[in-house]
Amino acid sequence: MASELTKSSRHSWVRKLQRSPLSTDFYSRDTLSVARDLLGKILIVDTKCLTVSRIVEVEAYSGDDPASHSSRGMTPRCAPMFEVPGRAYVYFIYGMYEMLNFVTEPKGQPGAVLIRAVEPLVGLEGVGKLRTNGPGKLTRALGVEMSHNREPLQGPRFWVADDGFRPPEIAASGRIGIREATERQWRFFVPDHPCVSREPRRKN
DNA sequence: CAGAAGATCATCT
DNA sequence: GATGATCTTCTGT
């Protein structure tokens, strides 16, 4: 783990991860598989400053999910979901929050995974763990903005890499709210992880 | 062009 | 559990 390393070995650990980001093929698969496999992976973001964190909670948005932006075809906003996999899809919502997603599925087929919570490792010392859970708080902490829409996840600003760590356990939430109609599970997280947000309440 | 909804969050009761 | 902040996107007319 990063906190156990000395400053210089931690630096080379980060550099090594930047040199071997996950390939486009990793993202060019069905969205649920990509979402599940993203848990435990390392996210490096170089915007205002360099941050390194571990992904601990995600949410899958397949093309035919009624809750997905892509469920009613391509629009200017959700166009990135139809484009090259392995890129960022960033959008603005509720007048104040940017959401960070990774584009999935082969080109032409829509899909994305929302990054909901990360565990801070490097460069987020001044930010409490509670500021990196929740998709809106997370982008604030990492400095992700609309201008990062369509940035590749293989650098020079975003990298997602595998450091060999495997979460001991992975859980999927039940069906919630509007998406109860979709008959599938979509949110994945590391159970009992301190950075994972509370499971949302079910409507009704 | 108007109106509504929204992949959220902090705050209040 | 409810509400307000704050604004973009999409839909319907």
Q: In the beta sheet, which residues pair with residue A91?
A: A99
Global confidence as pTM: 0.93
For strand B, list residues 105-124 of chain A whose Cβ lies within 7 Å of it.
Answer: 112, 114
Asked if the bond preceding A156 is cis, omega within 30° of 0, the reply is yes
The separation, in Å, between residue A58 CA and nucleotide B3 C1' comes to: 32
Per-residue model confidence as pLDDT tens for chain A (204 residues):
666 778 889 999 999 999 999 999 999 999 999 999 999 999 999 998 999 999 999 999 998 888 899 999 999 999 999 999 999 999 999 999 999 999 999 999 999 999 999 999 999 998 988 999 999 999 999 999 999 999 999 989 999 999 999 998 898 876 554 555 555 668 999 998 999 977 655 443
For strand B, list residues 161-200 of chain A whose Cβ lies within 7 Å of it.
Answer: 178, 197
Work out the burial of residue A97: count CB atoms within 10 Å of its CB; fewer than 13 is exposed, 13-18 middle, 19 or more buried: middle
CB A86, CB A102: distance < 8 Å: yes
